[in-house]
Structure 1
């Protein structure tokens, strides 16, 4: 299991990254994903965007909170079972302690104009972060599938999720299966094109060689 760290103690980096995502990820799993992506892909470079997208899709298809699944994967990816335990604990313990500490003041805080103002101010930030991540993944999908196929799958996913209201896990699994099939077929077509090109170059070389020999005769 390879480690991809930017220097320093992996456990310290993992703990600090997960503490930040757990405490600052207001609004549940979807709002935490851009924070986890920033720490894992951009800050510490443990994984790349492609691997992050794959794990995000799998985590969405599996039961349970998505943020803890992502934290567990990153910890395991970095330091095995112990890394997964440390990562999950660092992600959930600080926010759990904060919730318990504020439990006695929940009634007052829920009606506080100050707290309502904080909530109203942070929602646009979360929306922008999610939109940026969605745009980057959409851009990668267009590059991999082509603009027409990418747009078609966007429309299809919208219909399945919003109009038909199919369960997201089913939609994700269908697209994962298609993605695997698409990549396999694309690889097969690429090898065939390369083989045809090599054969044409070989035949062209033989013809040129034959012409040169005929000229010498």
Structure 2
């Protein structure tokens, strides 16, 4: 019973930290999730985290809540998933409820504009580092030329068609990649 309490406490603390410190939306919070899941609590290794993140990116919905649910589910099943999501979204829910009535005042505040301007480069770098990790993972699986082609093709397609369709196209290719790469052998 004591071990169960410890797991729920760890999930609560980890998800509160990701919920409180996560600024800039779901993808920019992933390094925080990675720190909690891989480095702090050792719930999974880097490769497992990257694979989970890739799968979570393909599924619909907010990435941060999907990761919270997955980490909770892996530790304590459905109850753990609900527990983790609750603690992850609690800080932003409280903050939204507290600030919603002051939205007009805050949006014109030079202090708030300064905070946003100062934090934006940090969020950009976090996203860039996550992008680098994804590119490295693609390089390991596809090689340099196919990764380059895939990135350019994705950029072009994302400009013209809906991102969900682009993801679907790449999923279809991914199911056939090794067959195509090996000249039809499987």
Q: Residues 19 and 184 of structure 1: is their aligned pair in 2 closer, same or farther, counting only changes over 3 Å?
A: farther
Q: Residues 153 and 17 of structure 1: is their aligned pair in 2 closer, same or farther, counting only changes over 3 Å?
A: same
Aligned counterpart, 2:93: 96
Query: Is 1:112 aligned with 2:105?
Result: no
Q: Residues 137 and 145 of structure 1: is their aligned pair in 2 closer, same or farther, counting only changes over 3 Å?
A: same
TM-score normalised over the length of structure 2: 0.84
Using the TM superposition, give the Cα deviation of residue 22 of structure 1 relative to its aligned residue in structure 2, in angstroms. 1.4
Query: Is 1:182 aligned with 2:183?
Result: no
Aligned counterpart, 2:13: 16
Using the TM superposition, give the Cα deviation of residue 59 of structure 1 relative to its aligned residue in structure 2, in angstroms. 2.9
1:24-43 equivalence runs, <5 A: 24-43=21-40
Partner Cα distance (2:151, 2:46) in 1: 19
Using the TM superposition, give the Cα deviation of residue 183 of structure 1 relative to its aligned residue in structure 2, in angstroms. 4.4
What whole-Å deviation, never above 9, does each CA across 1:90-125 have from its counterpart, x for those lacking one?
A: 011121112212233322222111111111110000
Using the TM superposition, give the Cα deviation of residue 143 of structure 1 relative to its aligned residue in structure 2, in angstroms. 1.8
Query: Contact 1:33–1:67 (CA<8 Å) still a contact in 2?
Result: yes
Gaps of 5+ in 2: none
Gaps of 5+ in 1: 1-7, 192-217
Query: Is 1:124 aligned with 2:99?
Result: no
TM-score normalised over the length of structure 1: 0.73
Aligned counterpart, 1:198: none
SS of equivalent residue, structure 1 residue 38: helix
What whole-Å deviation, never above 9, does each CA across 1:170-205 have from its counterpart, x for those lacking one?
A: 2223222322322467799999xxxxxxxxxxxxxx
Query: Contact 1:61–1:170 (CA<8 Å) still a contact in 2?
Result: no
CA RMSD of aligned residues (A): 2.6
Larger radius of gyration: 1
